[in-house]
Amino acid sequence: MTFTAEAFSLKGKPAFITGAGSGIGRAIALGFAACGADVACFDRDADAARATAELISTAHGRSIGIAGDVTSPDSLAEAVRTAVETLGPIRTAVNCAGVADATAAEDMPAEDFRRVVDINLTGVFLSAQAEARVMLAQGGGSIINIASMSGTIANRGLLQAHYNASKAGVMHLTKSLATEWADRGVRVNSISPGYTLTPMNKRPEVAERLKAYAADTPLGRIAEVEEMAGPAVFLASDAASFVTGCDLVVDGGYVCW
């Protein structure tokens, strides 16, 4: 097997990306398009999904914005069906939709815990399930779930037991799906970003601590959302053909300390 730069190309690999309306999801959608993929941009915010799709269509090629809910199997099934009808059978997918907030564990209402887990973990499962049904039928594909380094560590100063637990769940769900679908050609991996300048990490309770987080990061800064696109392109591409069940930590070295 001879390696060439073409292994990183996503041309001919239509993509379905949840949470594509902003932040890391939008950055990955644009990165995939820059590497040749046609992209279906799925988000609960219809205007945001369309805005990302328009950016892609203007700069790179074919894209479609689709509104929907990652906690609804019917919504996801319809969205995937629309993506396939518009762009062709999806070959790669990124599950990026998620939420975060902060509440002391002893004061956290049960419904708040359930909401975060329902979107961040159950939503990833339902998304992967809908995507895999297409990929398994066509003999292969690549699914990338966005976890977090918060699935490995408990962030100092952030009261987010529900968020941390949901992201740890995404990491192990990824391994479980990877082993279940490996013999049918579907690779499943996760990316665990460190502190990144997403809309969620511009919340008041986080923004005031960003300087401290940067100081605790060996690279000495917070990541830009665009820095998550390269790792995602790698995992989606043929360059990662022997990579499955992996959690790729992209944190500037934070967890090393």
What sign has the CA pseudo-torsion 233, 139, 183, 94? Answer: positive
Residue 192's Cα: distance from chain center in Å? 9
DSSP one-letter string for 112-139: HHHHHHIIIIIHHHHHHHHHHHHHHHHT
**Is the separation of the CB atoms in 213 and 180 below 8 Å?**
no
- For the question of residue 163 being annotated catalytic, the response is yes
How many Cβ atoms are within 10 Å of 74's Cβ, its own excluded?
11
What are the φ/ψ torsions at residue 122 (nearest 5 degrees)?
Answer: -60, -40
CA pair distance 87, 49, nearest whole angstrom: 16
Written as six digits, the tokens of 90 are 């999806």
Written as six digits, the tokens of 76 are 């996801």
Distances (CA, A) of 159 to 107, 137, 147, 232: 10, 42, 18, 28
The catalytic residue positions are: 163
